[in-house]
Structure 1
Amino acid sequence: MYKFSEYYIRPEPLYLMNSLLKSIFIVLFPAFAVFAMIDSFWYVLNTGITLLHITHLLTAASIVFFFSRIYIKPIPRTDSVLKPYTFSIFLGCLLASLALSLEEGVVFRLSCTIFNIILTLGWIIYLVWYSYFQKRNPDHNDILKVGKTLPLLTFENSKKEIVTTERFAGTPSIFMFYRGNWCPFCMAQIKEIINQHEELTKRNINTIFISSQPHGFSKKLAKKYPLDFQFLVDINCNVAKQLNIFTEYGLPFGFQIFGFKSDMILPTVVITDSNEKIIYTNETDQYRSRPEPSILLKIIDENV
């Protein structure tokens, strides 16, 4: 019943390698920033405050602060270039390169300069490479075209009972596909939509959250938000493959130890009317960009 593999064409090896490199990069890069921040802070404490070490600390701390912030206080979206962080990181790198001429007599530490360069290059790579889902183009996904009927989809609920989209027929629905509980932007997006509970209830809208993570994680969300929302599981990413919103090696490397699976669903929002006709889709190509609830409500008001 769950075998939708015929809908999925495995990407070429280079694409899979790109995904695997991303999963490794997003773990190593913040870890290196933490190491560089500790290194710079230790030298400031032991050798005194110098421009070289302060700029080194500024660059590393900006990166650490960004990644810490999105997990401590998740946000659903950011601007594409993260302006405040990018400014401070580039400023730190620039001042580090000027430190030698501005501070005569200060002992030169090659590692400070190297760390600054690596961190700045890593930040650029994060912005222009990691943050984007390569080869994701909604225009090429004929299955989720506006005006088409959503195909029959099969999921499981937290009790491992089968739930199909037939259950939601006759009522407009929002289907939000998310990566998992580990993704801070997904968690912030879910919370943002749930905060619109009253508005959604007024419009008699089904709200369904779907991921391919193990049942236990979805069950935690269902307990956290005990309202009229559905938290369903896409077993083995079969629906994601069916809808062409699947990615391999999407999980940050090492997060498997927490029970998550390496392959997952790409963030996607689909809205259907009472006849299961698709009236809106959002297949973001950047994981830090998610549609605002006001846009979803406007689409519903205009089309339902």
Structure 2
Amino acid sequence: MSRLGEAIKEYQEGFKNKVPTDIQRVMLEETKKLESEKLSKNALKVGDRFKNEEFTNIDGKNVKLYDYFGDNDFLIINFYRGSWCPYCNLELKSLQGYLDEFEKYNASLIAISPQTPDNSLSTKEKNELEFEVLSDIGNKVAKDLGLVFSLAKELRPIYESFKIDIPNSNNDKTYELPMPATFVINKKGEVIFSFVDEDYTKRYEPEEIVKILKDNLK
């Protein structure tokens, strides 16, 4: 099992031991419902084109996606739910550990969430991230990419009991969130890899992203 997979498994074991089973059951049921909707089938796929979308950086300034290519040939784009999501934090830390490998194969990395710029800054600082963390205010871009769903009403009081305040995190009362997603695009904006999953506990392994970059490097 990979390092990210091991970290996720370890977290899940701890979660099972400290969270009441009835709460776990509700969370699992809602995940299954979301999976049954098969929202990911509408998400951006390999061969599609990722537009030069606009986001907001941690300084509150508008920035363009393609600017983050720099001198590299590829851009890795990670959509995560927010700094309140333990699975997202595990994934971001794991991606940080592969930065040198990504650069070796001419790829830049950015992470995007619907959080406010201040909360994106907190994510960057908390996880000691050396790559850019951007805000997709109102999930505008994530909606265009087919990633957005609304958190089930049954889950909202559970999240609140965990001290998770999504409306405050996003400055948005809709409870809309992006499904975890990872894309790799080339300088033409073409998607050469796409991973989207309705189950927020599933994340794509950074070491597999390295293999994709290696296979596509000329």
- TM-score bracket, normalised by the shorter chain, equals 0.7 to 0.9
The residue aligned with 1:268 is 181
Contact kept, 8 Å, 1:148 with 1:277, in 2: the verdict is: yes
Counterpart Cα distance in 2 of 1:127 and 1:226: 30
Contact kept, 8 Å, 1:76 with 1:289, in 2: the verdict is: no
The residue aligned with 1:139 is 41
Counterpart secondary structure, 1:302: helix
The residue aligned with 1:100 is none
- 1:173 paired with 2:86, answer no
Counterpart secondary structure, 1:77: helix
Counterpart Cα distance in 2 of 1:85 and 1:162: 38
The residue aligned with 2:52 is 152
Counterpart secondary structure, 1:180: coil
Counterpart Cα distance in 2 of 1:257 and 1:156: 18
The residue aligned with 1:68 is none
Counterpart Cα distance in 2 of 1:258 and 1:165: 25
Q: How many residue pairs get matched?
A: 195
Structure 1 length-normalised TM? 0.56
C-alpha deviations, 1:146-184, integer Å up to 9, x for none?
012212311010111111123135630110000000000
- 1:256 paired with 2:156, answer no
> Which runs of 5 or more residues in structure 2 are unaligned?
none
Pick from 27, 46, 64 the counterpart of residue 126 of structure 1.
Answer: 27
- 1:303 paired with 2:203, answer no
Contact kept, 8 Å, 1:132 with 1:285, in 2: the verdict is: no
Counterpart Cα distance in 2 of 1:216 and 1:85: 28
Counterpart Cα distance in 2 of 1:205 and 1:291: 16
Q: Please give the root-mean-square deviation of Cα atoms over the aligned residues, in Å.
A: 3.0
Counterpart Cα distance in 2 of 1:217 and 1:182: 10
The residue aligned with 1:77 is 8
Distance 1:127 1:78, change over 3 A: farther
Q: Which amino acid aligns with 1:129?
A: E
The residue aligned with 2:193 is 280
Counterpart Cα distance in 1 of 2:68 and 2:24: 43
C-alpha deviations, 1:36-60, integer Å up to 9, x for none?
xxxxxxxxxxxxxxxxxxxxxxxxx
Counterpart secondary structure, 1:285: coil
Distance 1:268 1:158, change over 3 A: same
Pick from 62, 85, 103 the counterpart of residue 183 of structure 1.
Answer: 85
Contact kept, 8 Å, 2:83 with 2:119, in 1: the verdict is: yes
Counterpart Cα distance in 1 of 2:78 and 2:88: 10
Task: Give 1:137 deviation, angstroms.
Answer: 4.0
Distance 1:148 1:260, change over 3 A: same
Structure 2 length-normalised TM? 0.76
Distance 1:303 1:137, change over 3 A: farther
The residue aligned with 2:109 is 207
Counterpart Cα distance in 2 of 1:75 and 1:247: 28
Counterpart Cα distance in 1 of 2:186 and 2:49: 9
Contact kept, 8 Å, 2:76 with 2:108, in 1: the verdict is: yes
Contact kept, 8 Å, 1:150 with 1:277, in 2: the verdict is: yes
> Which runs of 5 or more residues in structure 1 are unaligned?
1-73, 89-118
Higher helix share: 1
Counterpart Cα distance in 1 of 2:15 and 2:117: 36
Higher strand share: 2
